[in-house]
Amino acid sequence: MLINWNACLAYVVSRQCDDGGFCFYRALGVEESNALDAYSAVVALDRLKTDVPRREALVAWLKAVQKTNGDYPGLPTAWYALESLRILNENPTYSPRGFLETQQDQFIANLTTEKTLDGSNVMLSINRLANLLEHWDIPPRLEFKNAVHKRLQDLQGLRDGYGWPTENLCDTATAFEIQARFNWQEMSNGLAFAEACLDPQTGFRLVPNSSATSLTVLDAGLSIFQFCHQPLSEPFKSAAIRFIAVCQSANGGFGRTDGAIPTLTDTRLALKCLGSMQAFTP
């Protein structure tokens, strides 16, 4: 496996902005720290067993993302900022409990009335909210759990996968995480669908009998196998490691697939996937 760990570390560190945050396109001369890139950098550096440079500045930037009433610009920003602070063993300046309760109210209303929401984004948001509720010891309300259960049933396909507009590996992995979080053992765990998506060239593909793949797809497949305590066997493991290796660019970062623009998000996913397969030896 030809992965340049030193170049990977240098890539992540080079994307830190003057204010302490991170921005993957900083190399273009743009200083636009954002919560997603900050989270990706924190996770990547944690997996590389490296301290975050200018840690105090980053923590201050992450805390400043929150409003004085405890709210955030949106759930994605809240997720990235709060998770980053948690990994850094820091707390936000203000309690996010009120914001998270409001988010739960909004999901209850939307999931029971709105029929045109993007299923993929909805499941991802549900998973993030459920995770934050758990971390902040906020019991999910029965109405929320019932609405989520109904939505998952609506998104389940004929092959025991999940997704909108069709079953796919990424949505199936998210659905399985939600089910595991709520201990819904009677629903499909997605393993059979994940096995149907195995690919001897790249590890996993997005849907059975296709060629579409990316580091996000690989991470989804590995997540399902991990949840089911199912190791990835050969030749799929070797194929997955080779695929990750070709996603690394000359600057050390990883792109979503071979030849794609490297990002902090995909660099985080590459390191996560290697760790999932116990192939992480920086």
pLDDT one-digit tens code per residue, 208-227? 989 899 999 999 999 999 98
Distance between CA atoms of residues 74 and 62, nearest Å = 14
φ and ψ of 218, to 5 deg: -60, -45
Distance between CA atoms of residues 251 and 12, nearest Å = 10
What is the token pair recorded at 103?
Answer: 């988010």
Burial 132-149 (b: 16+ CB within 10 A, else e): bbeeeeeebeeebeebbb
| Mean pLDDT, residues 222-243 taken together | 93
pLDDT level of residue 67 (50, 70, 90 thresholds) = very high
Strand 203-204 to 198-199 pairing = antiparallel
What value does the mean pLDDT of the chain take? 92
pLDDT level of residue 193 (50, 70, 90 thresholds) = very high
- 31 forms beta bridges with none
Q: Is 141 helix (H, G, I), strand (E, B) or coil?
A: coil
Distance between CA atoms of residues 126 and 163, nearest Å = 14
Residue of 9, 46, 2, 39 whose CA lies nearest to 253: 9
pLDDT one-digit tens code per residue, 161-189? 998 788 999 999 999 999 988 988 766 66
For the chain, what are the domain ranges? 1-93
pLDDT level of residue 247 (50, 70, 90 thresholds) = very high
Residue of 239, 244, 250 whose CA lies nearest to 272: 244
What is the token pair recorded at 166?
Answer: 């069709």
pTM above 0.85, yes or no: yes
